[in-house]
Amino acid sequence: MAKLVAILATTHHPFFYRTSQLPPEEAPPFAAEWVRKVLAYRETLTRARPDLLVMVGSDHFHQLWLDNMPQFLIGKAPYYDANWYNEEREFGLPKLRMRGHEELSAYMLREGLDKGFDLAFSNELRIDHSITCPIFTVRPQNDLPIVPVYTNIFAPPLPRPERFVALGKALREIIDAWPSDLRVAVIGTGHLSLELGGPRQFGPHGPDPEFDARAVEWIANGDIDGCLANVTLESLHAPGNATHGFMDFMLMMGIAGYNKADYADNLDLFHTMEAYFTWYPNGVDA
């Protein structure tokens, strides 16, 4: 069976790439600590020596549009082009090409369908910064094949938080049962409290530091039940109008199960809090 060697759940901040490229004299005061934390986080993936990456993220109205919107989608293609013109324009993100892993994509689609998740698929998917941000942060050499998993946290009606957790649990079972010798890491990105295009955007912190503190505790402690008891589709409007991206963290909690994170870190930035979690489900040295 495949070995799930690491589970990474993190925020994705599209400004990190450009900030990390600035010479020290031009960099903002928070840049050095941000880069240091990201480099430390990168090591948590590197030490797991993965062969391929399952990557959970959410399209930001790039390829997935309101005339044909899937709730959960898995890419199945030999390659994925990545990043879009407006991400180059706004964030300075370069275009990438990533290899796919069609065998695992096919297996995840088949098994997911049979477990009661009507997963959409795509054979030609250009992925966006929800998946490329963690490539820039934790695997900048971009040398591993990926299976992209997209969720809808963006265009209501959305699946409920329980469904994200349930899909995470199912994906964990599927990966654990995949007949392969490969070492798999799952990397998923979401948000803590976040406001985009509303009155609370781009403040000195995330729009709801209290929510962020609780969320970090839920994730770090593997407290799925506590999280589900306090988070609903409706309640997620309160911490910020883009906070439904937290449901991608909840999906990752479903993958990690009722376990404390082996690595947890965060950084209070303008606009939003960054957070970095890693689990080693088969031990650090598996």
Which residues of the shown chain bind another protein in the complex (CB under 8 A)? 60-61, 65-68, 84-86, 89-90, 154-157, 196-203, 237-238, 241-242, 270
Q: How far is the CB of 160 from another protein (least distance, A)?
A: 14
Q: How far is the CB of 52 from another protein (least distance, A)?
A: 30
Nearer to another protein, 129 or 172 (CB): 129
Q: How far is the CB of 6 from another protein (least distance, A)?
A: 30
Nearer to another protein, 199 or 283 (CB): 199
Nearer to another protein, 24 or 199 (CB): 199
Q: How far is the CB of 231 from another protein (least distance, A)?
A: 16
Q: How far is the CB of 236 from another protein (least distance, A)?
A: 12
Q: How far is the CB of 147 from another protein (least distance, A)?
A: 23
What HEC string does the chain produce?
Answer: CCEEEEEEEEECCCCHHHHHHCCCCCCCCCHHHHHHHHHHHHHHHHCCCCCEEEEEECCCCCCCCCCCCCCEEEECCCEEEECCHHHHHHHCCCCEEEEECHHHHHHHHHHHHHCCCCCEEECCCCECHHHHHHHHHHCCCCCCCEEEEEECCCCCCCCCHHHHHHHHHHHHHHHHHCCCCCEEEEEEEECCCCCCCCCCCCCCCCCCHHHHHHHHHHHHCCCHHHHHHHCCCCHHHCCCCCHHHHHHHHHHHHHHCCCCCCEEEEEECCCCEEEEEEECCCCCCC
Nearer to another protein, 92 or 140 (CB): 92
Nearer to another protein, 90 or 217 (CB): 90
Nearer to another protein, 27 or 106 (CB): 27
